[in-house]
Structure 1
Amino acid sequence: MNRRSFLKFGALAGLIGLGASGTAMALASANNPYHSGPVTDHFDGTRFFNPDGAAPKGFSDLLKWQLGGDREPWPASVTSPFAPAKPEPRIEGDRLRVTMVGHATMLIQTAGLNIVTDPVWSDRASPVSFAGPKRFIDPGVVFEDLPKIDVVLLSHNHYDHLDVTTLKRLRQAHNPLVITPLGNDAIIKADAPTMQVMAGDWGDAIQSGPATFHFEPCHHWSARGMNDRSMALWAAFVIETPGGKILHIGDTGFDNGRPYTNARNRHGKFRAAILPVGAYEPRWFMKDQHQNPQEAIEGFLLSGADYALGHHWGTFRLTNEGRDAPKEVLMAELAHKGVAEDRFRPLHVGEVWDYPATA
C-alpha cells in the first residue's frame, strides 16, 4: 500500500468511524473529550451505544472489506439532470418544500423556516483536503444562493455529515442555530467558537420559531478519529411544524424497524419521512449501521408517513454499490410492494419537491 493509498485508507477509517480493534479500544482512556454526564440506558459514562443493538465493526473487518474488491464502477463525474436550484427566500404556512443539495444535505422550507440538514459543501467528506471520499457531483444549490438559514440539523459527527468548514461558512453568512446530539457541540465549538449550538439527548426537544425539534433514537455510531468512537451521540429528528411532522434520519441501520416504530409510537402521524437509502454494500459489513433501499421502504411503511424522500446516495462514493444502484433498487422494490413511486422519491441533486398536503 503506497503512501497516498494509506492516507486515503486513513481518511476512510475516520469517515466511517472505525478505529482500533475492540481490545485496543478497551484500553483507551476512559476520558471523553466531548461529553460528560450520568450513565443512562445508552451512555456508559464514556461512550454512547445502541441499547440491545449491534456495535460497529472493528479494524480487521475494515481491512477485510477494503482489500476484498467487488466494488461496482462509478463514473468519473456526474451532471445532474436538474440545474442548480435557486431557492425562494421563504416558504410560508403549511407548505413543505425540500431541495436536495447532495448526500445528506437538504434544504427544508416550511412555516417560514429555512432548515439545512448535515451541511457539506466541501469537495471531500474527509478529515483532510487531499484524500478521502471526493464529491462526484456539484452541490444542488450554490452556497451563495442559499436563503437565510435559520436552523442546521446535525445528526452525528462522521465527516460526510459534520463538515466544520461548511459550518464556519454558514456561521459567517447566516449565523444559524445548530441543533445536534450530545457531544457534537464540543466538536463544533472547538473550531467555530462563536457558533450558536444547542445539544440534546434522545427524548429531548428544542423549539425554534414555529417548529419543535425532537431528538429520537436511531441505530448508528460516531467517530472523528481513531480513538473517539461513540463519544458523541447520534440521533434522528422529528420536526414538528404547523403543516405536520417530519421524520428525518441522517444515518441508521434498520435495527428490526425500531427507529420507525419508536418514532411512530411517540409522535403519531408523519407528513413526510426523510430517510437514507445508500452506502449499504457489502451487507456483511454495513447491515447493522446502514439500511439498504428495501429496509428503507419497510421503515417508511412502519413509520406510517404519507411520503418519503431518499437521500445519502450518489454524491460521495463510500461503499461498494454502484452510484445509481440505490435509486434503481428502491424503484424496483416499490413496484414489488405495490407502493406508488410518487410516495417515495430518491431525489437527484438539485431536485425540488413540493409535498402535497396529504397522501
Structure 2
Amino acid sequence: MTNETVRNPYYQGPKTDHYNGTRFFNPGGIRPAGFRDLLKWQFGDRGTKWPSRIDSPFPNSKPESRLDAANLRVTMIGHASLLIQTAGLNILTDPVWSNRVSPFAFAGPKRFNPPGIAFDDLPPIDLVLVTHNHYDHLDVATLKKLQARHKAPIITPLGNDTIIRKAIPDAAITVTDWGDATRFMDRITIHTEPCHHWSARGSRDRRMALWAAFVIETPHGSIYHIGDTGFHEGINYRAAAEKHGGFRLAILPIGAYEPRWFMQGQHQNPDEAVQGMKLCNAAHAVGHHWGTFRLTNEPWDEPRAALARALSHHGVEVERFRAMHPGEWLDIPAL
C-alpha cells in the first residue's frame, strides 16, 4: 500500500525526518521484523519457561507522600512502571496495574508478581509519562483509575493521545514530538527525545503513533528515562549526552531481548544498556523491563545476571547500576 491508501487513525501532520506522512520511523535505523519473522519466532524455540509466580524480595512498598526537592527516589512498581519522586513531585512512568498486557483481559502476557506498590498506597500523583502505545506501556485501564483518583496530567508522544482520549475524554494530555520541551509547574522541564523502537496496538497500525524517551530536567540533576529501545549503535545515547550534558540517573530497559535475531533492533540487552549508561554520561542507572511479564525467550532472572557480567566487563561499579525488583526503592546520590 502507498501512503495515499493508508489512513493513520491516530495522527495527521506534516512530514518530518521521522514521519513520512503516515508512519513514524527511526532515521537510519532498523525497521521492526515482519509477520513472517514473527511466525518463525513464535513457532520456533520459545526459550525457558518461567516459574508460575515470582515473588519480589521487596513486596508492598508504601512510599512517602512527598520528599524534599533535592531528593531523588525511584521505586519499582513492575516492568516499566516506576514512581519517581524528585523536585517535590511524584511522577509515574508507563503505569500498568493490570494483570495482563494485552487487548484481552483473558489472554496475553500475564503478570508474574503483584505491583510493587499497591494502587491504593500510591502517594498523590502529579504527572504521568507514557512513552509509547504497546500494551505493556500504555494501559488504558490503569490510566482510567489514575484519572479517577489523581487526575494527573499526562505527557505522551504524537498519536498516543488519541488512544487515551477515546477512553478518558477529560484527561489533561500534553502531546509532544521529539525535541519538544514541556515546562511543568515551574519546577521541572520534560524533554521528549528519540529512542529506537516502534508502536502498534493491533496488526494495522504499526508505527502510526510515536515512541519516545523522556528527560526530566530538575534543578538538582536530570533523569533520562527510556521505556523501550534498541541500542542503535549508541546514537541516541551520544545525542542525549551532547544535548543535556549527562545525567544524575538513567532509567534503562534491560529485558525482553531474546532471540537477538528478532529483538536486537527494538530491545537492547544488558550489555548494551551498560554501554548506553556510559555513553550518556549517567552517574547512576536502574534497570527495568524484566521479571514481571514474559514477553521474550530469556529466563526471568537472566537480565539481572547478564547485567552483573556486563558491569564487570565494562568496569562499572555494581552499586551504580541496579536491576530493580518490584517494591524496591533507591535514593540516588546528589551529583
- The question of a shared fold, defined as TM-score above 0.5 by the shorter chain, is answered with yes
Match of 1:206 among 182, 186, 209: 182
2:284 is matched with 307
Q: Which runs of 4+ in 1 moved over 6 A?
A: none
* Distance of 2:169 and 2:14 partners within structure 1: 25
1:348 Cα deviation after fit? 0.8
Partner of 1:185: 161
Q: Partners of 2:247 and 2:313 in 1: how far apart?
A: 23
Q: Residue 77 of structure 1 contacts residue 137 of structure 1 at CA under 8 Å; is this kept in 2?
A: yes
Shift of 1:83: 2.3
> Does residue 253 of the first structure (1) align with residue 218 of the second (2)?
no
Matching residue within 171, 174, 179 for 2:150? 174
SS in 2 for 1:152: strand
Deviation at 1:243, TM superposition (A): 1.3
| Counterpart selection for 1:94 from 70, 89, 94 | 70
Question: Paired residue for 2:275, among 295, 298, 301?
Answer: 298
Please state how far the C-alpha of 1:336 moved relative to its aligned partner.
2.0
Match for 2:194 among 217, 228, 237?
217
Listed as ranges, the matches of 1:1-359 within 5 Å are 29-209=5-185, 210-358=187-335
Aligned-pair CA distance for 1:73: 2.0
Q: Give yes or no for contact 2:3–2:22 (8 Å, CA) kept in 1.
A: no
- Where 2:282 maps in the other structure, the secondary structure is coil
CA contact (8 A) 2:3 2:21 kept: no
- Amino acid aligned to 1:271: R
Across the two proteins, how many residue pairs are aligned to each other?
Answer: 334
Q: TM-score, normalised to structure 2's length?
A: 0.98
- 1:27 CA displacement: 8.3
In structure 2, distance between residues paired with 1:83 and 1:60 = 41
Deviations 1:137-177, CA, capped at 9 Å, x for gaps = 00000000000101000000000000000000000000001
Which secondary structure state, in structure 2, belongs to the residue aligned with residue 194 of structure 1?
Answer: coil
Following superposition, the deviation at residue 254 of structure 1 comes to 0.1
Q: Distance in 1 between matches of 2:166 and 2:252?
A: 29
Q: Secondary structure at the match of 2:246?
A: coil
Amino acid in the other structure paired with 1:108: I
TM-score, L = length of structure 1 = 0.92
Q: Percent identity?
A: 60
Give 1:332 deviation, angstroms: 1.4
Would you say the 8 A contact 1:72–1:322 is kept in 2? yes
2:64 match: secondary structure: coil
CA RMSD in angstroms, aligned pairs only:
1.1
Counterparts of 2:5 and 2:172, CA distance in 1: 30
CA offsets 1:247-267 (integer angstroms, 9 cap, x no match): 000000000001200111111
Residue 109 of structure 1 deviates from its aligned partner by 0.2
| Letter in structure 2 aligned against 1:204 | D
Task: Please give the alpha-carbon distance, in whole angstroms, between the structure 2 residues aligned to 1:336 and 1:40.
Answer: 39
- SS in structure 2 at match of 1:258: helix
Structure 2: give runs of 5+ residues left out of the alignment. Answer: none
Residues 130 and 29 of structure 1, relative CA distance in 2, 3 Å threshold: farther
Q: Contact 2:225/2:252 (CA < 8 Å) preserved in 1?
A: yes
Check conservation: 1:84, 1:350, Cα contact below 8 A.
Answer: yes
- Contact 2:46 2:296 (8 Å CA) reproduced: no
How big is the shift at 1:89?
A: 0.5
1:223-276: per-residue Cα shift (whole Å, max 9, x none)?
Answer: 011101111000001100121101000000000001200111111121010000
Q: Which residue of 2 aligns with 1:19?
A: none
* Alpha carbons 2:194, 2:236 under 8 Å: kept: yes
Letter matched to residue 11 of structure 2: H
Structure 1 residue matching 2:278: 3-state secondary structure: helix
Can you give the 5+ residue segments of structure 1 that lack an aligned partner in the other structure? Answer: 1-24
Distance of 1:29 and 1:150 partners within structure 2: 41
